[in-house]
């Protein structure tokens, strides 16, 4: 453990540290997905149609908005959220169909701390469980670390079990529960925190590349090795 001249424990040095730049608007191209800046005229109609397949509105339980019942209302909402830089919203396009099927954003972007969060994730039924969904999350994480961010965060309602499982599958370690962190939709939210750091990225990148490789899938499209098996050894804590 490092100490200062007073004998107090201090953190490790970060030599040559300088804040990374903000994420650009350039599209991110993967094997199965393309992640591009969200744009209402280009994406709203396809996203609304894809979200309509979620007949009971299950996807919206842990998101701030309620399900949208009209394209006009959804397009107006997309137009509003897509104007900002933080959150910086992206559409996820499945390259197999060339159609938008989900959204995600960079948010709480803090270059001075080297920290960035992925959030506002909403995968329509067309995207859930697909290689494109995993590819999109890989692309967003890869850009963040390539820019020089030291910490990549994921936060969700502590009661949102699917989101918590997804974070761990993607290699983000559990860091604890912030009790009574938010009030949304008139109810309390305890927030579960997950993160990966830059020192873990080389192993995580190799895990994603192994899982996404065509050779990892048999003729019926079944995975030969799961991503959870590949990222599990990187996790510092589970929860």
- Whether 148 is covered by a domain: the verdict is yes
Assess if residue 94 is contained within a domain. yes
The pTM of the full predicted model, rounded to 2 decimals, is 0.96
> Residue 215: its pLDDT value, please?
97
Single out the residue of 238, 236, 157 nearest to residue 199, CA to CA: 236
Q: Is the residue at 3 inside a domain?
A: no
- What is the per-residue pLDDT across 201-215, written as a single tens digit (0 to 9) for each? 999 999 999 999 999
Q: 105's torsion region: left (phi>0), alpha (psi -120 to 50) or beta?
A: beta
Six token digits for residue 124: 């329509």
- Is 202 a member of any domain? yes
Residue 2 confidence class, pLDDT cut points 50, 70, 90: very high
Q: How confident is the model at residue 88 (pLDDT cuts 50, 70, 90)?
A: very high
pLDDT in tens, 103-143: 999 999 999 999 999 999 999 999 999 999 999 999 999 99
Domain extent at residue 37:
28-234
Structural domain count, the chain: 1
């Amino acid at each position: 453990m490092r100490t200062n001249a007073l004998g107090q424990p201090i953190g490790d040095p970060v030599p040559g540290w300088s804040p990374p730049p903000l994420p650009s608007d350039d599209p991110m191209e993967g094997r199965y997905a393309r992640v591009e800046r969200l744009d209402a005229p280009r994406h709203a109609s396809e996203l609304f149609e894809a979200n309509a397949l979620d007949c009971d509105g299950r996807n919206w339980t842990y998101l701030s908005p309620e399900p949208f019942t009209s394209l006009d209302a959804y397009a107006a909402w997309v137009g509003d959220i897509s104007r900002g830089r933080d959150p910086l919203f992206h559409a996820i396009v499945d390259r197999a169909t060339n159609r938008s099927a989900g959204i995600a954003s960079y948010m709480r972007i803090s270059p001075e701390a080297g920290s960035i969060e992925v959030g506002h994730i909403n995968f329509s039924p067309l995207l859930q469980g697909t290689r494109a969904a995993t590819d999109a999350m890989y692309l967003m994480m890869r850009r963040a670390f390539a820019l020089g961010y030291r910490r990549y965060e994921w936060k969700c309602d502590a009661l949102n079990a699917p989101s918590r499982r997804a974070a761990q599958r993607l290699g983000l370690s559990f860091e604890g529960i912030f009790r009574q962190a938010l009030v949304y939709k008139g109810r309390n939210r305890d927030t579960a925190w997950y993160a990966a750091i830059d020192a873990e990225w080389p192993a995580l990148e190799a895990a994603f590349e192994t899982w996404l490789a065509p050779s990892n899938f048999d003729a019926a499209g079944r995975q030969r090795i799961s991503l959870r098996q590949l990222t599990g050894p990187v996790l510092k804590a589970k929860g």
